[in-house]
Amino acid sequence: FIVLNITGILRIGLDFCGCENLLRSRLFSATTVGPKTAATFCLLKMFHLLLTQSKVSRYEFYTSISRHTDNTG
Q: How far apart are CA 8 and CA 65, in angstroms?
A: 5
- Report the pLDDT value the prediction gives residue 65, as an integer from 0 to 100: 92
Task: State which residues form the domain around 49.
Answer: 2-71
Q: How many domains does the chain have?
A: 1
Helix H or strand E segment including 63: helix 58-69
Confidence of residue 32 (pLDDT cuts 50, 70, 90): confident
41: part of which helix (H) or strand (E)?
A: helix 41-54
Please state the rounded mean pLDDT for residues 24-49: 90
Read off the pLDDT of each residue in 43-63 and give the average, rounded to a whole number.
Answer: 93
